[in-house]
């Protein structure tokens, strides 16, 4: 029983990070129709910026910020980086083939990774956390508080994002743009601003994912890439439609990898999220929670 | 008249050319040590996610100290075999006298035929037992700087059982050659050990970020042998502590890397042991202390074993060229095979398998991750556990002896 609880906690925590990555994908997809493959490296960048701000001499040698202020500043910086990314990797290509833009986001990912390598090196690093080393004991299972924190913070952020989508002007405009960009533009929706905001928010979410993920292990240049792949699978499972759908997709991915994979073919559990994705696409091409084909949307 | 002038001009040019040639050859003839052209095949920071600066830093530092005796160049060598082969051919085009390179055994194995046919002395930075002279990918001109990796893996297992007196062993293996060969070497070393049992065995991917199942499976062990990459090792170390499994956790070179990065602290650090070919920062010899200080002031961070080894190899090649009195590859190969060189990381002496270094250390860490030597190891020259392939069997796995 204790083993099952420990695996459930792991599955939920990994699923929560995958869901954050998937929501980041979805935001940009809705605003621009583009799948941003730099999302994974933005997660990595967020973790490294948090290290830079909170450790040793801190940024520019001005001294380390406290952990929570450092995290907040990281998320703000990531928002600005997202806006910058939109300006250099999306805005100049608006109107070009979607394939060109997707390849450009891949190029941006490689540039980001090389930049981080030059800036911070390649030695694995550690991001501290206010709950480092603390463990919650439930029915004989030891669950690190960091995992609990990941689940709680992700849940709050997802709910906030759903509220943002449903009950704000930004959300309504975003949904209108997703439905028909040209008509939305004719109706006065500032689609260019929307795409900048979407890139900014998506990068901020990636930064948050990096901050939550970092203290669970160690940080190197490949940290975010794996979660981008999981996030992409989550978004496909959810049908690239509703936030709720991609969140369920993310959780399904975490649970199938760690709970199912904890008992069956446990040495190869990394394949299960993708087996699930292939099965869902085969049986329900539009994804679990969307109308129309997820594949066609991509 | 005109013809005579042309002849005299030609004659003058000929005489002048002869004088210049004679002066040049005389200058070359009077030079005691010919300039050795050395190429490093390794990536450095920024060139890939796996690249580290240590090899280039160490080799460059030695080349600068040697001045005109050495001409040093670096060519990035990507991990995929095709990229490694391409880098090797680029190097060969530059007619080097010696090449140092390939941090991954897979690179050396993939390019071994080209290395062999080139005849150029090649110092590999990795130590897969296939690359030993009598192995399937070995060659007369292929030298292993480091002890054969399966010797180190065997030493890890023997340390847990013979030194720490542990009986219930857990095995954790990353799902690539490091993990597969490491666990195979450990099983071979533990075979026949009275009362010793492998009570849990698990595998993980190089990109694993959650090892809850693997960590909880280690409950009931009294030592864990881990053959892993740095990132999953960091995850495992911390998750073992989260699950109240505080037993010796013995890994290889990844342990020092994660400890230096602050990934493990407190119990996760003190439980962890590793193996390093040398620990320059913990070495008390005055020449090593000075070297560490020079390295740190030059590059801003302390050196690890790989920087020391790259530094040593450049110096060793220069010494071999001096001994041979030539930079001809064949003569250099002969000189390297018989030279003894006392370097920063070790005292090097080529054995029958073309392995240069025969020492290593089991290392431990304090609660802040600071590394120190737990047990020095020495390996008998010519020893090869023969874990990976039957063609490489020479002697049985040797018991590492304490040298200090």
Nearest-angstrom CA–CA distance, A74 and A91: 24
Helices (H) and strands (E) in chain B, counts: 13, 14
Q: Which residue has the higher pLDDT, A52 or A240?
A: A52
Count of domains observed in chain A = 1
Chain B neighbors of A223, CB-CB under 8 A: 209
Chain A neighbors of B49, CB-CB under 8 A: 113, 117, 122, 220-222
Nearest-angstrom CA–CA distance, B353 and A175: 68
Chain A neighbors of B235, CB-CB under 8 A: 216-218
pTM: 0.83
So what's the ipTM on this one? 0.84
SS3 assignment for A66-116? CHHHHHHHHHHHHHHHHHHHHHHHHHHHCCCCHHHHHHHHHHHHHHHHHHH
B27, pLDDT greater than 50? no
B247, pLDDT greater than 70? yes
For residue A296, tell me if it sits in a domain: no
Res. B153 pLDDT band, cuts 50 70 90: very high
- Dihedral sign of CA atoms B221, B226, B231, B237 in order: positive
What distance in Å separates residue A1's CA from the closest CA in chain B? 12
Q: Quick check: A183 contacting B, CB < 8 Å?
A: no
Of A1-5, A200-204, B348-352, which range is least confident?
A: A1-5
For residue A30, tell me if it sits in a domain: yes
B404, pLDDT greater than 50? no
B394, pLDDT greater than 50? no
User: Is-contact B137 B108, C-beta < 8 A?
Assistant: yes
Could you tell me which chain A residue has the CA closest to the CA of B50? A122
Q: What is the pLDDT of residue B7?
A: 56
CATH code: domain B150-276+360-392 is 3.40.50.2300
* Tokens (6 digits) for A163: 């509220």
B350, pLDDT greater than 50? yes
Burial A147-180 (b: 16+ CB within 10 A, else e): bbbbbebbeebbeebbeebeeeebbebbebbbee
* Tokens (6 digits) for A198: 């979407």
Nearest by Cα to A277 from A229, A219, A228? A229
Nearest-angstrom CA–CA distance, B399 and B84: 35
CB contact under 8 A, A222 and B203: no
Q: What is the pLDDT of residue B9?
A: 56
For residue A85, tell me if it sits in a domain: yes
Q: What is the pLDDT of residue B79?
A: 85
Q: Quick check: A267 contacting B, CB < 8 Å?
A: yes
Mean pLDDT for all residues in chain B:
88
Of A135-144, B166-175, B283-292, which range is least confident?
A: A135-144
For residue A201, tell me if it sits in a domain: yes
Nearest-angstrom CA–CA distance, A253 and B45: 34
* Tokens (6 digits) for A51: 């290290």
CB contact under 8 A, A267 and B175: yes
B399, pLDDT greater than 50? no
- Domain map (residue ranges) of chain B: 36-147+283-357, 150-276+360-392
Calculate what percentage of chain A has a pLDDT beyond 70.
95
What distance in Å separates residue A286's CA from the closest CA in chain B? 30
Nearest-angstrom CA–CA distance, A154 and A172: 23
Chain B neighbors of A2, CB-CB under 8 A: 216
* Tokens (6 digits) for B108: 């050396």
CA angle B343, B345, B350 (to 5 degrees): 65
CB contact under 8 A, B242 and A217: no
* Tokens (6 digits) for B54: 């240590």
Question: What distance, in Å, lies between the first and last C-alpha atoms of chain B?
Answer: 86
CB contact under 8 A, A267 and B244: no
- Average pLDDT of the segment spanning B228-249: 94
Tokens 């220069």 belong to B318
Domain B36-147+283-357 class? alpha beta
Comparing B36-147+283-357 with B150-276+360-392, is the CATH topology the same?
A: yes
A234, pLDDT greater than 60? yes
Chain B neighbors of A217, CB-CB under 8 A: 209-210, 231-232, 234-235, 238, 263
Which segments of B176-304 does DSSP mark as H helices, in order? 177-190, 212-217, 230-242, 254-260, 266-271, 286-299
Of A29-38, A232-241, B20-29, B162-171, which range is least confident?
A: B20-29
- Interface probe for B, chosen from A112, A126, A222, A265 (most Cβ of B below 10 Å), is A126
Backbone angles phi, psi at B79, to 5 degrees: -65, -40
Q: What is the pLDDT of residue B389?
A: 52
For residue A229, tell me if it sits in a domain: no
B383, pLDDT greater than 90? no
For residue A37, tell me if it sits in a domain: yes
B344, pLDDT greater than 70? yes
Res. A296 pLDDT band, cuts 50 70 90: very low
Q: Quick check: A135 contacting B, CB < 8 Å?
A: yes
For residue A264, tell me if it sits in a domain: no
* Tokens (6 digits) for B10: 């030609």
Q: What is the pLDDT of residue B32?
A: 62
- Condensed to tens digits (0 to 9), the pLDDT of residues A126-181 reads 899 999 888 899 988 999 999 999 999 999 999 999 999 889 998 899 888 888 88
For residue A271, tell me if it sits in a domain: no
CB atoms within 10 A of CB B26: 10
Q: What is the pLDDT of residue A242?
A: 81
Chain B neighbors of A260, CB-CB under 8 A: none
A290, pLDDT greater than 70? no
- Interface probe for B, chosen from A50, A61, A121, A123 (most Cβ of B below 10 Å), is A123
Q: What is the pLDDT of residue A57?
A: 66
Q: What is the pLDDT of residue B2?
A: 53
Nearest-angstrom CA–CA distance, A232 and A273: 11
Nearest to B242 among A123, A142, A270 (CB): A142
- Condensed to tens digits (0 to 9), the pLDDT of residues B54-107 reads 999 999 999 999 999 999 999 999 888 899 999 999 999 999 999 999 998 889
Q: What is the pLDDT of residue B46?
A: 78
Of B13-17, B188-192, B315-319, B327-331, which range is least confident?
A: B13-17
Strands of the sheet with B168-174, listed across from one edge: B197-204, B168-174, B223-227, B249-250, B272-276, B359-365, B371-378
CB contact under 8 A, B212 and A10: yes
Q: Quick check: A122 contacting B, CB < 8 Å?
A: yes
Stated length of chain B: 404
CB contact under 8 A, B230 and A270: no
Stated length of chain A: 298
CB contact under 8 A, B212 and A135: no
User: A214 lies in which domain range?
Assistant: 2-224
B6, pLDDT greater than 60? no
Chain A neighbors of B51, CB-CB under 8 A: 117, 122
Number of cross-chain residue pairs from A and B with Cβ atoms under 8 Å apart = 109
What distance in Å separates residue A190's CA from the closest CA in chain B? 39
- Condensed to tens digits (0 to 9), the pLDDT of residues A98-131 reads 889 889 999 999 999 989 988 888 888 889 999 9
């Amino acid at each position: 029983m204790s083993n099952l609880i420990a695996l459930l906690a792991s599955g939920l925590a990994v699923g929560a990070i995958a869901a954050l990555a998937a929501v980041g994908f979805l935001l940009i997809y809705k605003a621009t129709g583009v799948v941003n493959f730099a999302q994974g490296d933005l997660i990595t960048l967020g973790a490294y910026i948090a290290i830079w701000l909170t450790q040793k001499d801190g940024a520019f040698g001005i001294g380390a910020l406290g952990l929570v202020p450092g995290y907040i500043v990281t998320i703000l910086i990531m928002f600005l980086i997202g806006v910058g990314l939109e300006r250099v990797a999306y805005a100049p290509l608006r109107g070009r083939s979607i394939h060109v833009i997707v390849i450009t986001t891949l190029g941006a990912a490689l540039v980001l990774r090389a930049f981080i390598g030059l800036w911070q090196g390649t030695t694995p690093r550690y991001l501290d956390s206010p709950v480092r080393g603390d463990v919650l004991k439930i029915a004989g299972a030891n669950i690190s508080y960091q995992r609990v924190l990941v689940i709680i913070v992700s849940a709050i952020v997802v709910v906030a994002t759903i509220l943002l989508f449903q009950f704000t002007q930004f959300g309504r405009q975003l949904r209108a743009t997703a439905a028909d960009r040209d008509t939305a533009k004719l109706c006065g929706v500032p689609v260019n601003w929307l795409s900048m905001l979407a890139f900014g928010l998506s990068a901020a979410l990636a930064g948050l994912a990096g901050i939550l993920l970092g203290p669970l292990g160690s940080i190197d240049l490949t940290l975010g890439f794996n979660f981008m792949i999981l996030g992409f699978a989550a978004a496909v499972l959810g049908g690239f439609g509703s936030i709720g759908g991609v969140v369920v997709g993310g959780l399904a991915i975490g649970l199938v990898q760690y709970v199912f994979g904890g008992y069956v073919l446990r040495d190869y559990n990394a394949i299960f999220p993708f087996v699930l994705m292939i099965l869902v696409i085969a049986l329900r091409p539009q994804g679990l929670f969307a109308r129309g084909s997820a594949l066609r949307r991509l | 008249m005109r013809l005579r002038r042309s002849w005299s001009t030609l004659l003058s040019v000929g005489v002048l050319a002869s004088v210049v040639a004679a002066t040049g050859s005389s200058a070359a003839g009077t030079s005691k040590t010919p300039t050795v052209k050395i190429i490093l095949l390794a990536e450095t920071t920024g060139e890939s996610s796996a690249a580290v600066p240590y090899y280039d830093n160490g080799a460059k530092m030695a080349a600068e100290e040697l001045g005109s005796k050495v001409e040093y160049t670096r060519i990035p060598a990507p991990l995929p075999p095709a990229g490694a082969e391409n880098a090797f051919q680029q190097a060969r085009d530059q007619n080097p006298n010696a090449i140092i390179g390939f941090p991954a055994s897979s690179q050396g194995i993939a390019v071994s035929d080209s290395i062999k046919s080139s005849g150029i002395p090649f110092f590999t930075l990795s130590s897969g037992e296939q690359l030993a002279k009598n192995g399937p990918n070995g060659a007369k001109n292929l030298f292993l700087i480091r002890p054969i990796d399966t010797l180190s893996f065997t030493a890890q297992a023997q340390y847990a059982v013979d030194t720490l007196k542990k009986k219930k062993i857990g095995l954790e293996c990353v799902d690539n050659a490091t993990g597969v060969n490491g666990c195979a070497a450990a099983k071979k070393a533990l075979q026949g050990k009275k009362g010793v049992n492998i009570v849990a065995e698990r595998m993980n991917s190089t990109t694993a970020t959650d090892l809850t199942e693997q960590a909880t499976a280690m409950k009931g062990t009294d030592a864990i042998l881990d053959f892993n990459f740095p990132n999953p090792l960091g995850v495992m170390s911390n998750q073992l502590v989260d699950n109240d499994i505080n037993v010796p956790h013995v890994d290889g070179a990844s342990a020092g890397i994660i400890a230096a990065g602050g990934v493990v602290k407190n119990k996760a650090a003190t439980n962890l042991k590793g193996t390093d070919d040398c620990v320059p920062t913990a070495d008390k010899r005055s020449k090593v202390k000075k070297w560490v200080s020079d390295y740190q002031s030059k590059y801003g961070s302390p050196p690890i074993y790989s920087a020391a080894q790259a530094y040593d190899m450049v110096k060793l090649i220069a010494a071999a060229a001096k001994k041979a009195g030539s930079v001809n590859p064949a003569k250099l190969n002969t000189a390297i095979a018989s030279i003894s060189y006392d370097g920063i990381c070790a005292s090097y002496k080529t054995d029958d398998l073309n392995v240069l270094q025969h020492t290593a250390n089991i290392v431990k860490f304090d609660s802040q991750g600071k590394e120190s030597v737990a047990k020095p190891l020495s390996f008998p020259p010519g020893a090869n556990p023969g874990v990976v392939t039957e063609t490489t069997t020479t002697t049985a796995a040797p018991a590492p002896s304490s040298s200090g």
